Homo-oligomer: A and B are copies of this chain.
């Protein structure tokens, strides 16, 4: 019987790549997405497309209300920053950081893993492009794994639980190259923090890093960027040029 793994799936480049990696390692994959009051529900549609295309044993979308606490541009009324130069992005914790998000997500994954009898959880955190997020660092993942092994039946019964973060030391370009090698069509994924019906905004940090990743990987970018709407006042200099 295939071993079971719970894979956290947002529907973006990173988690989609992780899903393909887990499948390729021979796991029966249980994909877990969250409807958590994020502005960008488009990513849930992407997660469903990815689950169907790559093939999972089950895809669960858990609804949780992180808006109840506020505190992030991704769940509250703080504006999503646009057109930031790369060197600004890499300083400090960005306002798009959702408080304790990975901790909350991993905790649900842990609950599901326990019910399934799964010993493996996969998460697409990445320490290089997102050094500003405390819960994307290797030492955080290690501490979470240690805690998880004390929290659960598995730990009590001596069956070790592993938190896999296979992208943690990769650049976005390396992630994309790995995914392409595994046959992923990234056109079905969604990374934008502020997507429009016509596509990704092309101007938030996430769009910027995605676009930069494809360019550096030397892989054609399949993303539908819609660009700015006409009534928006564009700041000078930092506009991300995209080809529609």
Q: CB within 8 Å of B: which residues of A?
A: 60, 62-66, 68-71, 93, 97-104, 106-108, 110-112, 114-115, 134-135, 137, 139-140, 143-144, 146-148, 150-153, 155-156
Min Cβ gap A90→B in Å is 14
Pick the contact of A150: B65, B69, B134 (CB < 8 A): B134
Contact A147 B151 (CB under 8 A): no
In the assembled complex, the Cα of A232 lies from the Cα of B101 at a distance in Å of 45
Min Cβ gap A81→B in Å is 17
Contact B103 A148 (CB under 8 A): yes
In the assembled complex, the Cα of A95 lies from the Cα of B55 at a distance in Å of 32
Contact B155 A150 (CB under 8 A): no
Q: Which residues of B contact A104 (CB under 8 A)?
A: 104, 107-108, 110-111
Q: Which residues of B contact A134 (CB under 8 A)?
A: 150-153, 155-156
Min Cβ gap A137→B in Å is 7
Min Cβ gap A236→B in Å is 31
Q: Which residues of B contact A60 (CB under 8 A)?
A: 68-69
Asked if A103 meets B107 with Cβ closer than 8 Å, knowing A93-B156, A140-B150, the reply is: yes
Contact B99 A115 (CB under 8 A): yes
Contact B147 A100 (CB under 8 A): no
Contact B140 A147 (CB under 8 A): yes
| Residue of B whose beta carbon sits closest to that of A115 | B71
In the assembled complex, the Cα of A70 lies from the Cα of B65 at a distance in Å of 20
Asked if A110 meets B100 with Cβ closer than 8 Å, knowing A134-B153, A153-B93, A156-B93, the reply is: yes
In the assembled complex, the Cα of A135 lies from the Cα of B99 at a distance in Å of 22
Q: Which residues of B contact A64 (CB under 8 A)?
A: 62-65
Q: Which residues of B contact A139 (CB under 8 A)?
A: 150
Asked if A66 meets B111 with Cβ closer than 8 Å, knowing A143-B146, A147-B147, the reply is: yes
Contact B110 A103 (CB under 8 A): yes
Asked if A62 meets B65 with Cβ closer than 8 Å, knowing A99-B114, A104-B107, A135-B151, the reply is: yes
